[in-house]
């Protein structure tokens, strides 16, 4: 997938990436949205986009923002507006779905203050060469979110551009939304979160060198810091899957502050141990999928009590993996 990074300089001058003008000879079918998580509701929009683009011999493009729009950042808690997917993860899912291009815009002051019709004229029609526009029925845009699908449809008729609103997708008689999924992740409802997302949430990064306490206690772990601005899952123990390179390993993961042994570091840590493999992962890039919540994080009276509980957790999670036959190809098919 071709990624086009648009930008603005310090004067607010909008910069078009080199090679973009004239890059879609027949024009584009463009999906509009922020698409955090690229959940099953988003996937309905993107599937519609791909079909329309193929039918009309157009380039399938997603237009989205490289940073979170103001309309998505009105929570009161520091992590209320954290992402389900990083920008890299989001683009990776777009690519796997079959999108040809992604236009990544800065959500700048000039973009956010633009009139809805001006945005459609200057960017969607003239710059992106849209012949088809696809968006969710609740899509809003322009200054003060003045633009909606009614305005977009009317504008499309005036300009000879086909506009396709996509209705929301329901699960359990509720509209699937990124907000709902973030709530699930924060409350440890990973099975539900995964079914809404189309695959389990994951955390990626370079394995950090820690205090090696887990190795001393008999359960060596690969440690990750939670990515900036990514939703923090419920503290506790999870059945998980670790991927490094092209290999997948059933694993057990602890997320939290490690209160039994830690009294000074208040940054949550993801600690993962792979079953039946001895692996030195320090300095390597790994990805950890949280599959199922096992129990909350506790402060134990001493390290011995912690060790006893860890042994119980390891047995329970091993049984979970045994029941699932160590086969996560279907579960992870939409996200790897």
232: pLDDT strictly greater than 90: yes
Q: Provide the pLDDT for residue 81.
A: 62
Q: Provide the pLDDT for residue 76.
A: 43
CATH 3.40.50.620 placement within the chain: 2-170
Percent of the chain predicted with pLDDT > 90: 71
Contact (Cβ atoms closer than 8 angstroms) between residue 4 and residue 129: no
CA distances (Å), 211 to each of 223, 256, 258, 265, 291, in order?
10, 15, 12, 12, 26
**d(Cα 238, Cα 202) in Å, to the nearest integer?**
12
Q: Which of 113-117, 136-140, 297-301, 321-325 has the lowest mean pLDDT?
A: 321-325
**d(Cα 134, Cα 151) in Å, to the nearest integer?**
13
Q: Provide the pLDDT for residue 247.
A: 87
231: pLDDT strictly greater than 70: yes
Q: Provide the pLDDT for residue 75.
A: 47
**d(Cα 211, Cα 262) in Å, to the nearest integer?**
10
CATH 2.40.30.30 placement within the chain: 177-323
Contact (Cβ atoms closer than 8 angstroms) between residue 60 and residue 98: yes
Q: Provide the pLDDT for residue 126.
A: 96
Q: Provide the pLDDT for residue 165.
A: 98
Give the 3-state secondary structure percentages of the chain, helix then strand then coil, rounded to 5.
Answer: 30, 25, 40
5: pLDDT strictly greater than 70: yes
User: Which is more confidently placed, 333 or 215?
Assistant: 333
Q: Which of the four pLDDT bands, split at 50, 70 and 90, describes residue 78? A: very low
Digit-coded pLDDT (tens) for 239-248:
999 999 888 9
Q: Which of the four pLDDT bands, split at 50, 70 and 90, describes residue 202? A: very high
**d(Cα 300, Cα 310) in Å, to the nearest integer?**
11
Average pLDDT value for residue range 262-281: 84
**d(Cα 298, Cα 307) in Å, to the nearest integer?**
12
Average pLDDT value for residue range 2-29: 92
Coil, helix or strand at residue 39 = coil
Cα torsion angle, 116, 118, 123, 125, sign: positive
Q: Provide the pLDDT for residue 213.
A: 59
**d(Cα 119, Cα 123) in Å, to the nearest integer?**
5
Digit-coded pLDDT (tens) for 19-73:
999 899 999 999 999 999 999 999 999 999 999 999 999 999 999 999 876 555 5
Residue 33 CB partners (closer than 8 Å, separation 6+): 42, 45, 62, 63, 64, 135, 136, 139
User: Which is more confidently placed, 158 or 69?
Assistant: 158
CATH superfamily of 177-323: Riboflavin kinase-like (2.40.30.30)
218: pLDDT strictly greater than 60: yes
Q: Span 2-170: which CATH code?
A: 3.40.50.620
């Amino acid at each position: 997938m071709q990624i086009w990074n648009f930008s603005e300089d310090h004067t607010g001058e909008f910069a078009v990436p080199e090679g973009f003008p004239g890059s879609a000879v027949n024009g584009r079918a463009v999906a509009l949205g922020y698409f955090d998580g690229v959940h099953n509701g988003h996937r309905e929009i993107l599937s519609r986009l791909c079909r329309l683009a193929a039918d009309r011999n157009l380039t399938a493009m997603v237009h989205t923002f490289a940073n979170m729009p103001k309309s998505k950042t009105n929570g009161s808690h520091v992590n209320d507006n954290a992402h389900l997917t990083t920008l890299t993860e989001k683009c990776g899912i777009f690519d796997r779905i079959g999108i040809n291009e992604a236009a990544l815009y800065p959500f700048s002051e000039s973009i956010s203050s633009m009139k809805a019709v001006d945005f459609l004229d200057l960017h969607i029609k003239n710059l992106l060469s849209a012949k088809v526009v696809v968006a969710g029925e609740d899509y809003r845009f322009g200054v003060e979110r003045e633009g909606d699908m009614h305005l977009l449809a009317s504008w499309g008729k005036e300009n000879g551009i086909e506009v396709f609103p996509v209705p929301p997708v329901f699960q359990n008689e509720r509209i699937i939304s990124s907000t709902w999924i973030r709530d699930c992740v924060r409350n440890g409802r990973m099975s539900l979160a995964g079914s809404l997302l189309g695959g389990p949430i994951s955390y990626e990064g370079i394995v950090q060198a820690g205090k090696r306490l887990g190795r001393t206690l008999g359960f060596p772990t690969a440690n990750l810091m939670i990515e900036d601005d990514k939703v923090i899952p419920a503290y506790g123990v999870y059945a998980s899957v670790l991927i490094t390179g092209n290999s997948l390993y059933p694993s057990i993961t602890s997320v939290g502050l490690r209160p039994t042994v830690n009294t000074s570091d208040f940054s949550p840590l993801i600690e993962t141990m792979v079953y039946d493999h001895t692996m030195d992962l320090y300095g390597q890039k790994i990805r950890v999928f949280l599959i199922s919540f096992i129990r909350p994080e506790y402060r134990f009276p001493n390290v011995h009590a912690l060790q006893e509980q860890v042994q119980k957790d390891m047995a329970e999670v091993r049984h979970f993996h045994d029941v699932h036959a160590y086969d996560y190809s279907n579960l992870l098919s939409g996200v790897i």
